[in-house]
Structure 1
Amino acid sequence: MIRKLLVLSVVIGFSTPLAAEVFRAENHVKVTGTAGGFEVANGGGYGARGMWCAAADYARRVLGAPGNTRMYIAEGRVPGLGQRAPVRFTLDPAGLNPSPVVIVGASPRKAGASLSVDHAHQFCADARLSNR
């Protein structure tokens, strides 16, 4: 009986989606995979630029997205008290009204805001410079 439980727990462990695992981006911001996308917890002290950096690092290293792949804000932050809530990103624009980011600081509030992986990854330089 114990052997069956052990085998069952191993099978369940391997069948659990990896999406729930937490990834630490190069700027130390936590990114968590979700169904159809991923959530960025905060900007690591770098605001929206830090969030885009973390999203790009996750898209590159975990999802294997090429640099020209577009990332979209799937669910933005609500202005006001919800400012510290995670922002959900996706690589799939379905159901969104995609628009290029013009003002980076305001972008986490707007579903559909979009940057390429390479463009967003350039914001990681903020963290590299401050960690010298």
Structure 2
Amino acid sequence: MVRFPILAGAALAVTALPVAAQVVSAFSEPRLPVNRLSNTTFEVIEKYGAGPRQIWCAAADYAINTLGDDRGRIYVVTPRGPAQTAAGAKGVAFSTQDPGIAVSTGYSVTTDVAGANLLIIHAEQFCNDYLIEPGDTLP
């Protein structure tokens, strides 16, 4: 019965694929939805258990790739709370324009304080949390 080992090996290979996909997706950056509010203001929708670092990353990505702004700052206009653009979701509204309430939060990356702000290139660095380079070892 040579067929049994071949079939068993094929079955194991097929069942291993979903596990491999889960490992890859667990270490790849989730894309958070970002919705435009005006020419300089946009809202990041919280999903996938994202925290402040992922939200700032999405805001920076939007500022750079959609608005074409990579030199300025991004500001929290409306702190984390009920989303303006997605019913039943939580969101944070950001702007590339100083809303006149800019505050210093030290080294914090909070999304709970109106006026909190970061350089776009600083916030963009949070996107690198999920990069896996050749030779990296996983925990």
Q: Contact 1:46–1:126 at 8 Å: present in 2 too?
A: no
CA contact (8 A) 1:32 1:39 kept: yes
After TM superposition, the runs of 4+ consecutive aligned structure 1 residues lying more than 4 A away are none
RMSD between aligned residues: 2.3
> Number of matched residues?
97
1:50 is aligned to 2:43? no
AA matched with 1:90: S
**Residue identity in the other structure for 2:79:** G
Which of 103, 124, 127 is the matching residue for 2:108? Answer: 103
Find the residue that maps to 2:76 and give its secondary structure.
Answer: strand
Q: Note the C-alpha offset of 1:44.
A: 4.0
Unaligned runs of 5+ residues in structure 1 are 1-25, 79-83
- Render the CA deviation track for 1:77-129: whole Å, top value 9, x for unaligned: 25xxxxx62000001113x321244222xx11101000011000000012324
Match for 1:62: what amino acid? T
- Counterpart contact for 1:56–1:117, Cα < 8 Å: yes
Provide the secondary structure at the position in 1 that maps to 2:80: coil
TM-score norm. by structure 1 comes to: 0.64
Q: CA–CA distance in 2 between the matches of 1:110 and 1:43?
A: 19
Query: Larger radius of gyration, structure 1 or 2?
Result: 2
Match of 1:85 among 81, 90, 112: 90
Partner of 1:29 in structure 2? 32
Q: Which has the higher helix share?
A: 1
TM-score by length of 2: 0.61
Give the match's secondary structure for 1:60: helix
Distance change (3 Å), C-alpha of 1:117 and 1:44: farther
Q: Distance in 2 between matches of 1:74 and 1:50?
A: 17
3-state secondary structure, aligned to 1:99: coil
Q: Which residue of 1 aligns with 2:116?
A: 113
